[in-house]
Amino acid sequence: MDAKDRILDEKYRFAKELVAEAGDFLRQHLHDDLEIEEKTDFTDLVTHLDRQVQADMTQKILSRYPDDVIYGEESVNLQPLNQGAVWVIDPIDGTNNFVAQKTDFAVILAYLEDGQGQFGLIYDVMNDELYHGGGSFPVCLNQEVLPKYEEKPFHQGLIGMSAGLFHQEKPNFRHFALQSLGTRSYGSAGLSFCHVLTGRLMAHVTHVYPWDFVAAGILGQPLGYSLVRPDGSQPTYEGREYLLFVPTSKLEEVKGYLSQ
């Protein structure tokens, strides 16, 4: 193993510790009184624990790797994602679930070098399930290596989709969803992507920011999944965008449903 690989290996082990510590912290503070703020509207919440988790992760990363860059949901200034060593953080994905249900939320972390995904982690905190790997690492759920996508007809699979998207006409998410076995809505983009990785969902369609989806894209690629815009093009990584997480072998079929 050369020095570069050794550093990457060390960063991957460190990343797993970071998300495990963030998860422990959130479980310990689950029943604290929350300071809740609305961001864009009353459905878009942030708590003091979102900010605290990102601040703690940032401090730990930068004290060990001072030249690296943080791209986090709660960051004030966002640096470009495609230059240098960048850690992408969503400290609590599914904040509304965290506030209202105390379950079904995740900590998401991804690591990129000059825009190339090196590994991704999505931690289902309350189920203690860590999805991790991608790049040069096997994709695992805790200690188990996940199998690649196994082919089945589109109409035998479920689609992850929120009610809002179902009613949108362009792209035709409704027509797309009606070709499937049914829709499910989990309230966490990260966990919905994980349900695709394990085959519980055939696909997930969502409206997300880079901190929501970069880890999933890295995890999905080796297992045969693509993360693309409804026309099949690559994400722009600029702001919020509509994305599909689907088996690569189903892309043409899905594009057909969406364009009707």
Binding residues for Ca ion, rule: CB under 5 A, are 73, 90, 92-93, 212
The answer to whether 249 and 149 are in contact (CB under 8 A) is yes
In the list ligand IPD, Ca ion, none, the entry touching 104 (Cβ below 5 to 8 angstroms by class) is: none
Q: Is 183 in the site for ligand IPD (CB under 6 A)?
A: no
* Separation between Cα atoms, residue 250 and residue 260, nearest integer Å: 16
User: 129-134 and 144-145 as β-strands: parallel, antiparallel, unpaired?
Assistant: unpaired
Q: Is 94 in the site for ligand IPD (CB under 6 A)?
A: yes
Q: What are the helix (H) ranges across 92-152?
A: 95-100
CB of 42 to ligand IPD, least distance (A): 13
CB of 107 to ligand IPD, least distance (A): 10
Q: Is 54 in the site for ligand IPD (CB under 6 A)?
A: no
CB of 198 to Ca ion, least distance (A): 19
DSSP 100: H
Hey, what's the torsion of the CAs at 172, 176, 182, 183, to 10 degrees?
-50
In the list Ca ion, ligand IPD, none, the entry touching 187 (Cβ below 5 to 8 angstroms by class) is: ligand IPD
- Phi and psi at 39, nearest 5°, equal -90, -85
Q: Which residues bind ligand IPD (CB under 6 A)?
A: 73, 90, 93-95, 162, 187-189, 206-208, 212
